[in-house]
Amino acid sequence: MGKRLVLSDIPVHREQDAPFAAFFDKNDPEDLARVLSDAMSTPVPDIGQTQLAQINEQRARQFADEFASLVGAAVARTR
């Protein structure tokens, strides 16, 4: 969506790999303060809808490839 995200560094957030995400150590309030300060002072790049759609398509393809690999590995283990 072209928005900046500030997220804790827990695995489920890292999985999302959002283009404009900034991660902070979930156990470090000073790190959160630094990341928030940086996020508020750094503008999100102004990208067009076409470029944003390309980024989203690339991420969707990567997810699909990784998911297919996991399913293939799971099927292979059951044989």
Domain borders along the chain are 1-46, 47-79
Q: What average pLDDT does the segment 32-51 reach?
A: 82
Q: Give pTM, 2 decimals.
A: 0.53
pLDDT at 24 over 80: yes
| CB-CB contact of 58 with 64 (8 Å) | no
* Main-chain phi, psi angles of 44, to 5 degrees: -75, 135
pLDDT at position 15, please?
A: 81
Residue 21 or residue 47, greater confidence: 21
